[in-house]
């Protein structure tokens, strides 16, 4: 039997890692604690209220939305203006983080959506958050708030189109060999009932996670005050729809699809959050990489400062709205306006946890291309913005 060098090297690497484990280092033990603390916080704050509804929506898309409908509006042969236009502004409705959007992205992609529109949806979901953009303009200034809003919409369309053309041959083969139903199928419910059903689930996702605004006045504060009442009303409405409009077989299929998405996505997300917390810590806390080290590298408006901000933003996990106070603190520590925008454009749309899940859906090659495009465009946009406001 030939000697298995690969397995041997893995064993040696694991042994050396255990042998030299720096458990006496306070930074190492602190980073381990930060990783576990971030996982605990994520499980408490995001799994039940964010990912739970998102998994059910993804399962519903997979079961109740016909492939013909997805292909008609988001498929490779659909109108580019319609498909990219709808996908690029989806974040204004969803207001989700980079991890919560993943089940829905997986759902529409598996139903036959073209790679370009699906990528536009994947980026815009967490990036074009109305509350986050308003908070950005209020805290960091209207210029960076406007630049973030325009940049996010443009990014989603441009990145989607580039991904479409890069992998055009593979996409044509996917749609030619994939089991996509092109003809319209008979629906068990009217379109109005389906719209109300999906709208209720999206409303539950949005209002259950409505963040507290900085001021106690205005429509955003009023919605936050009554968000559980609003969520409860939509939950009751959804329960009535399920009991009145759906058959037992349909509900069983919906549950199985939701469970499938949960098994595919949740373990990778939790592992990614753990690693992200170990490397970069939580907001206001140190990971294995010192925050002062990050702050010292993103001053000015050089290519390296913008590139480094884009890379850090891409790998760091940001819960919805938390990126604004983080960037505010970095600017106070000397971060340039260009790198600040670069981080805001790369950060909310990507994270190490989401990268792991995207790879399981699209494969390594498409995932690397998507990450690279986000980082490159965030870097270039940050440099341009820094030059304009200088």
Find tokens 């059903």 and name the residue. 197
Give the model's confidence band at 148: pLDDT under 50 very low, under 70 low, under 90 confident, else very high: confident
Write out 257-284 in H/E/C secondary structure: HHHHHHHHHHHHHHHHHHHHHHHHCCCC
Question: What pLDDT is stored for residue 236 in this prediction?
Answer: 92
pLDDT digits (tens, 9 = 90+) for 205-261: 778 877 777 677 778 788 888 889 998 999 999 999 988 888 888 888 888 888 887
pTM of the full predicted structure? 0.65
Pick the residue with more confidence: 88 or 346? 346
Question: What pLDDT is stored for residue 176 in this prediction?
Answer: 67
Question: Mapping DSSP to helix (H, G, I), strand (E, B) and coil, where does residue 4 land?
Answer: coil
In Å, how far are 41, 167, 280, 362 from 157, measured between CA atoms? 33, 16, 30, 18
pLDDT digits (tens, 9 = 90+) for 53-94: 877 877 787 777 665 666 666 666 666 777 777 777 665 555
Domain range annotation of the chain: 37-188+247-389, 191-246
Question: Mapping DSSP to helix (H, G, I), strand (E, B) and coil, where does residue 20 land?
Answer: coil
Tokens found for residue 253: 């299929």
The answer to which of 5-19, 143-157, 166-180, 288-302 has the lowest mean pLDDT is 166-180
Contacts of 157 (CB under 8 A, 6+ apart): 84, 88, 120
Q: From the CB of residue 172, how many other CB atoms can be counted at a distance below 10 Å? A: 11
pLDDT at position 183 over 50: no
Highest mean pLDDT among 46-55, 98-107, 307-316, 366-375: 366-375
Tokens found for residue 365: 């090659």
Give the model's confidence band at 182: pLDDT under 50 very low, under 70 low, under 90 confident, else very high: very low
Q: What mean pLDDT do residues 144-159 have?
A: 86
């Amino acid at each position: 039997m030939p000697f298995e060098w690969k397995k041997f090297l893995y064993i040696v690497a694991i042994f050396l890692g255990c042998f030299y484990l720096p458990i006496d280092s306070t930074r190492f033990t602190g980073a381990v604690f930060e990783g576990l603390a971030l996982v605990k916080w994520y499980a408490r704050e995001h799994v039940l209220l964010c990912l739970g509804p998102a998994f059910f929506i993804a399962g519903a898309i997979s079961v109740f939305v016909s492939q013909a409908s997805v292909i008609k509006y988001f498929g490779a042969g659909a109108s580019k203006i319609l498909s990219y236009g709808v996908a690029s502004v989806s974040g204004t409705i969803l207001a989700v983080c980079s991890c919560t959007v993943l089940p829905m992205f997986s759902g529409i992609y598996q139903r036959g959506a073209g790679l370009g529109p699906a990528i536009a949806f994947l980026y815009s979901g967490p990036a074009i958050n109305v509350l986050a953009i308003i908070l950005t303009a209020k805290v960091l200034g209207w210029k960076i708030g406007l630049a973030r809003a325009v940049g996010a919409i443009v990014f989603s369309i441009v990145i989607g189109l580039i991904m479409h053309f890069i992998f055009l041959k593979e996409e044509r083969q996917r749609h030619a060999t994939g089991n996509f139903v092109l003809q319209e199928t008979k629906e068990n419910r009217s379109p109005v009932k389906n719209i109300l059903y999906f709208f209720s689930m999206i409303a539950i996702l949005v209002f259950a996670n409505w963040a507290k605004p900085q001021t106690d006045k205005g429509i955003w504060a009023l919605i936050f005050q009554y968000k559980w009442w609003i969520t409860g009303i939509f939950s009751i409405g959804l329960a009535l729809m399920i009991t009145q409009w759906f058959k037992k077989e349909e509900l069983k299929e919906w549950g199985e699809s939701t469970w499938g998405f949960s098994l595919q996505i949740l373990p990778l997300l939790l592992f990614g959050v753990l690693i992200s917390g170990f490397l970069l810590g939580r907001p206001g806390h140190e990971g294995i990489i010192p925050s002062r080290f990050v702050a010292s590298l993103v001053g000015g408006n050089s290519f390296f400062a913008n590139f480094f901000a884009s890379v850090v933003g891409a790998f760091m996990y940001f819960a919805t709205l938390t990126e604004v106070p983080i960037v505010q603190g970095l600017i106070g520590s000397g971060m340039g306006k260009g790198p600040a925008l670069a981080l805001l454009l790369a950060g909310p749309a990507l994270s190490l946890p989401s990268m792991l899940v995207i790879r399981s859906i699209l494969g390594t090659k498409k995932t690397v291309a998507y990450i690279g495009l986000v980082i490159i465009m965030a870097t270039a946009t940050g440099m341009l913005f820094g030059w304009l406001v200088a």
